[in-house]
Structure 1
Amino acid sequence: MSECVCRHEARNAQERRVLRLALLLNAAMAVIGGIAGWLAQSTGLLADALDMLSDASAYAIGLMAIGRSVRFKANAAWISGFALLILGVAVLAEVARRVAYGADPLSGWMIGTALLSLAVNLTVLRLLSPFKSGEVHLRATWLFTRADVVANLGVILAGALVFWLATPYPDYVIGLLIGLYVIKEALEILGEARRAGIPRES
């Protein structure tokens, strides 16, 4: 076996280890954040949990793409971006529903859960840092996690404002902003996938 092949296999093995760990951490936090968001009546936490669920999906797709063709990797990034776009729109719809029917978000739950999510995402972001300038399917995973860090900070700020102002509107606002940010990241990933060679005809 040539030295080049050995290096390639070692890199693939390292990518798999990182993505498996990122997948497990994000899946766990998606469940925790979703439960906390529901109990706390927080659109911000629910949006954050959906974002982390989409991350877990992206990592799973990234794992499947390792060692595959450029076309497969570009299509994997396309699927990730499209899924993220759908979730972003779903978040905006949930914000609209909460505004229409009202909610009483619990600031303590918001801040505590977002701090835990932030710790997880900073760890994952550090693990994924070699991927930020890598192949399109791997860069997509780094972009997902970068979006999560921004969202976590926003939820912490919103939770503090909910407590300070005694109003749910900061939670609505951060849910709206996370939804818009998720859509922006989705469009960025879709653009990169297209430039990487998504076929326009079957």
Structure 2
Amino acid sequence: MSGCCQDECCGEAIRGDNGRFARLLWIALVVNAGMFVVEAGAGFAAGSLSLQADSLDFLGDAGNYAVSLMVVASAPAVRAKAALLKGATMGLFGLWIVAATVWRAFNAVPPDAFTMSWVGLLALISNLGVAALLWAYRGGDANMRSVWLCSRNDAISNLVVLVAAAGVFGTQTAWPDLIVAAVMASLALQAATMIVRHALLELRDDIREQKPA
């Protein structure tokens, strides 16, 4: 979550590369949105909260790419409202995972380690694939580099899920899954809070600018 690129960064990068970077972001958007659906669904089916928490990475990145591509040329208020919606969605999902983690701690049922493993591996491959597409921008300006770092950092999160799957398999308990889910959900909530706060500040500034002197 903390590795997600900022909307402003993505927008500046898009304008600086004659559309090629934008095309790569469209690919990244499709991959991240699709993997959010796959990982969240598999997390529910397998009873794995760490998979559900990890899916927040894909949701956050997909939201960043979508906002950058679709409203980068819009008025500041429009971009701020889109970011506010994205942050609120991430926050609600994060709160749900925290609540589910607390509830599961008292009703611990080990998740399906096999499903956790193959879905976590698929997520890792997806993020590595996106990172490979953006590899050429790793040494670019700070904006382009930040986009590449999104997928690189998310790949690290995928590795953590695989470690949790190994822990579940080895201990036959839900605790490795719950611990990873709690940590990742807390990071998601932190990111969502920052997004919402920043969006509200932008909306407030826009309202002040619209007021007659």
- For 1:133, which of 136, 142, 157 is the aligned residue? 142
Residue 16 of structure 1: aligned partner: 22
Distance 1:175 1:9, change over 3 A: closer
Residues 1:200 and 2:209 are matched in the alignment: no
Change (3 A) 1:117 1:100: same
Query: TM-score scaled to structure 2, two decimals?
Result: 0.71
The within-5 A match list for 1:163-182 is 163-182=169-188
Match of 1:121 in 2: 127
Change (3 A) 1:157 1:25: same
1:98-141 Cα offsets, whole Å, 9 max, x none, are: 22333221112112211110111123245457498329xx96x6
3-state secondary structure, aligned to 1:200: helix
Q: Which residue of 2 aligns with 1:184?
A: 190
- Counterpart for residue 4 of structure 2: none
Question: 1:147–1:182: 8 Å Cα contact kept in structure 2?
Answer: no
Deviation for aligned residue 1:193: 5.7
Per the TM alignment, residue 162 of structure 1 is displaced from its structure 2 partner at its CA by 0.9
**How many Å apart are 1:40 and its aligned residue?**
1.6
**Kept in 2: contact 1:54–1:83 (CA 8 A):** no
Which of residues 77, 87, 95 is equivalent to 2:93? 87
CA drift of 1:31 comes to 2.1
CA displacement at 1:146 relative to structure 2: 5.3
Identity fraction in percent: 32
Deviates more, 1:147-156 or 1:184-193: 184-193
Structure 1 pair 190–124 and aligned structure 2 pair: CA distance change class (3 A): farther
Note if 1:66 corresponds to 2:75: no
Contact 1:118 1:153 in 2 (8 A): yes
Give the number of aligned pairs: 190
Partner residue of 2:8?
Answer: none
Which residue in 2 is equivalent to 1:52?
58
TM-score normalised by structure 1 residue count: 0.75
* CA 1:17–1:190: 2 relative to 1, 3 Å: same
Contact 2:25 2:65 (8 Å CA) reproduced: yes
- Tell me whether 50-59 or 150-159 shows the greater mean CA deviation: 50-59
Residue equivalent to 2:3? none
Superposition CA RMSD, Å:
3.3
> Can you give the 5+ residue segments of structure 2 that lack an aligned partner in the other structure?
1-13, 208-213
Tell me if the contact between 1:29 and 1:49 (Cα under 8 Å) persists in the aligned partners: yes
Q: Per the alignment, do residues 100 and 161 of structure 1 end up closer, same or farther by CA in structure 2, a change over 3 Å counting?
A: same
Tell me if structure 1 keeps the 8 A contact 2:123–2:158: yes
Question: How far off its partner does 1:42 sit?
Answer: 0.7
